[in-house]
Chain A
């Protein structure tokens, strides 16, 4: 961490003092942020100065060995082209061989990666990224601003099928203003831009990967040795890596795709792999009793949801929506569907894992009487159809049945329609007015709201079209004052919670398991497997 942070922002004498105070505990994180921002420090990086040094990982990394992961979420249709990535295996392997301009720390703060520092104009529209010098691609080429510009342009091309296209659409221009400097201008003020560029699709590739997007050449700590989609992926340590103190301890990393949950556990148990993802909640207790196995439980931003279309009858009636929101027993669902490995939701898509989480909003409780009151007020009385499928989220069919029983207590007649898993995401979700679904969360609140809740969102799966909400989102996006921003986010959360179409009963934890000789594991709410960094940040203890 240290090495990275000495360059992360122009060091100001007062900032130095602030950092010291924060580390000694005389200054709270919030105050630190506020002072740092007042100093005009590139805002997002201010937090990283603190997190990197004050919360450094204890334990001494050891080098060597082959670190193996057995993971669900790989298919024989996978490709090495970052634009095409959708699953967690691609995410984890990608974070091992590629690097983005920025990263987001487990505390939700921006940390530098290929960019050393970032500064914005006061209107948060022009962003200057200073690139790290002397960074080598695996093919021996040096990374320069031309590669960064070409990469970002490839993902912003409307013809690209990039998973990051939605993020890139708000960008007006990307220019190389120096060999090691890239200037990005956004269409509208966007205080989150450097966060968005941490997206795992935006791995910097030589020449932007235009000639061969699936070459698997990046700047990361490991270089790709073998890529068998859906079977196994291997990478070995890259000798020319610029940051060997922080990433890349094992000599070689391997991901074996094991989609069967029982097979994953037996592979871990018999020592064929060192870490696995997606331990099923119902077996956690049994796995915990096994010798040499450690369960790592991470509260993240992932959520299981029931979206309703606010523009489709009967869900166009807010009383009916409120009736359903009060008619779901969240605690019971966390207990039964997640076996306690999760937390209750409050009908807005943000939880404490996000920076600037609005903590003061009261929790919505299961209240059959109130649900019945709203239901009667809505004047609706025919059965409400809820569509569900096993692919919506693990346990989605059971969850729908629990919901149905809860509804019955409130006098609401709900009918469950079970849909085939095949084609669920193209035919049911975002098409039918009420169904089960999930979200894996986004790096920032703004991105979550822009992805699914503003009127122009690509996946507005609750059909929430509100000009006043859009205006709040726009204001928050361009707001550099964090206190004001937090207020705006509170208003937005209340609006979605009380008037939106989202029923969010629970946030599910990531449950992963490692052998006890794996060192360096630290929870990261940003995503599975330490947000994809598990293979490059963990090591094998002898």
Chain B
């Protein structure tokens, strides 16, 4: 690792932070634009006008927006995400539990899905245009074409209701052992795997096929190397950059975009937490979750960039 790469990484980090700051402004402004009154939404249809008025005063909604922005930003920089308006719980505390669950599901899905997608991609290239390629492409395409709630219900019907192998309600608690947790998340993880598999597999396949046209692959073939060895050792390393990008995008999806799966499997992740609070106009929570989601996206994309730089000699040693 030379100083140039370090400088490049530092630059990316700084850019990422700047972007995050800009996003924080956008999130703050956006949440101010939401229609409806926070106090009214919290108290619901059966709120008395007095209660609404009292709550508004208590929440400090009478202060100007920019004061509230800097209060909020200052709090976050000190690691204080604030207190939820709706149930007065510390946001950090309840959010980390939810974030932990989301990461747990995302991690185990990724552990299964990423190697599987890449392996299937390699196999598809090896048997290009022959039946293994067709079967892999066909099934993954079918899986991605089905809406995720449908896949979820299908898995529930077969594996929870018919065979009773796995629970249909995937609620996880702190008192569960790792084994119990893995058993609980089997169906949502399987659903998510089917959803993201095709995207990553097809990108792996396309990127490698692209490289397969290069002269050095021909050289490797002429040297008499086996096809799979050529793909895995010679073609794949040069196809990593686009694959990493797609993998990172899918990982980001696993963290920020799985609310449908959370609802179907009753999984206590961040998506449901965010939606509950949006509908209650619980602005501090929406802002905190929004910021975390933005950070995840920016962070993973930055990571993809850095991996692309580190794995690409041309970027590593610019002329």
Residues of A at the B interface (CB closer than 8 Å) are: 70, 75-79, 84, 86-87, 158-163, 165-166, 214, 226, 228-232, 256-260, 262-263, 266-267, 269-273, 420-423, 425-427, 429, 437, 458-459
A161 pairs with B55, CB closer than 8 A? yes
Render B165-187 as a binary contact track against A, CB cut-off 8 A, 1 for contact: 00111010100000000000000
Since A158-B50, A232-B173 are in contact, a sample of 10 more A-B pairs with Cβ atoms closer than 8 Å, ordered by chain A residue number, is: A84-B87, A230-B273, A231-B171, A263-B265, A263-B266, A267-B169, A272-B169, A421-B279, A429-B45, A458-B48
Across chains A and B, which 6 residue pairs bring their CB atoms closest together, nearest first? A423-B36, A77-B86, A426-B40, A79-B87, A75-B276, A231-B268
> Nearest CB to that of B159 among chain A residues?
A270
A76 with B41, Cβ < 8 A, contacts A165-B51, A263-B168, A267-B169 known: no
What residues on B are CB-neighbors of A162 within 8 Å?
51
A76 pairs with B273, CB closer than 8 A? yes
Render B268-289 as a binary contact track against A, CB cut-off 8 A, 1 for contact: 1000110011111010000000
The bracket for how many chain B residues form the interface is 35 or more
What residues on A are CB-neighbors of B277 within 8 Å?
76-77
What residues on B are CB-neighbors of A79 within 8 Å?
86-89
> Nearest CB to that of A226 among chain B residues?
B173
A423 pairs with B266, CB closer than 8 A? no
A70 pairs with B169, CB closer than 8 A? yes
What residues on A are CB-neighbors of B156 within 8 Å?
263, 266
Residues of B at the A interface (CB closer than 8 Å) are: 34-37, 40-51, 54-55, 84, 86-89, 94, 98, 153, 156-157, 160-161, 164, 167-169, 171, 173, 263-266, 268, 272-273, 276-280, 282
- Identify which of B37, B88, B98, B157 contacts A426 (C-beta below 8 A): B37
In the assembled complex, the CB of A42 is this many whole angstroms from the nearest CB of chain B, namely 29
What residues on A are CB-neighbors of B272 within 8 Å?
76, 230
What residues on A are CB-neighbors of B42 within 8 Å?
77
A163 with B46, Cβ < 8 A, contacts A76-B94, A260-B266, A266-B168 known: yes
Question: How far is A422 from B35 in the complex, measured between Cα atoms in Å?
Answer: 8
What residues on B are CB-neighbors of A76 within 8 Å?
94, 98, 272-273, 276-277
> Nearest CB to that of A420 among chain B residues?
B35
A86 pairs with B168, CB closer than 8 A? no
What residues on A are CB-neighbors of B278 within 8 Å?
422
Q: Identify whether the interface residues of A are mostly helix, strand, loop, or mixed.
A: loop
- Identify which of A87, A159, A423, A426 contacts B54 (C-beta below 8 A): A159
A266 pairs with B282, CB closer than 8 A? no
A75 with B169, Cβ < 8 A, contacts A257-B266, A269-B161 known: no
What residues on B are CB-neighbors of A262 within 8 Å?
153, 264
Question: How far is A302 from B273 in the complex, measured between Cα atoms in Å?
Answer: 29
> Nearest CB to that of B280 among chain A residues?
A77
In the assembled complex, the CB of A209 is this many whole angstroms from the nearest CB of chain B, namely 13
In the assembled complex, the CB of A260 is this many whole angstroms from the nearest CB of chain B, namely 5
Residue pairs across A and B with Cβ atoms less than 8 A apart, 18 shown, are A70-B169, A76-B98, A77-B42, A158-B50, A161-B51, A230-B276, A259-B266, A266-B157, A266-B168, A267-B169, A271-B164, A422-B34, A425-B41, A426-B36, A426-B40, A429-B45, A437-B45, A458-B48
B48 pairs with A166, CB closer than 8 A? yes
> Nearest CB to that of A84 among chain B residues?
B87
- Identify which of B36, B51, B87, B273 contacts A427 (C-beta below 8 A): B36
In the assembled complex, the CB of B23 is this many whole angstroms from the nearest CB of chain A, namely 22
A425 pairs with B44, CB closer than 8 A? yes
In the assembled complex, the CB of B260 is this many whole angstroms from the nearest CB of chain A, namely 9
What residues on A are CB-neighbors of B47 within 8 Å?
161, 163
- Identify which of B45, B168, B264, B280 contacts A270 (C-beta below 8 A): B168
Question: How far is A214 from B156 in the complex, measured between Cα atoms in Å?
Answer: 36
In the assembled complex, the CB of A164 is this many whole angstroms from the nearest CB of chain B, namely 10
In the assembled complex, the CB of A458 is this many whole angstroms from the nearest CB of chain B, namely 5
B46 pairs with A272, CB closer than 8 A? no
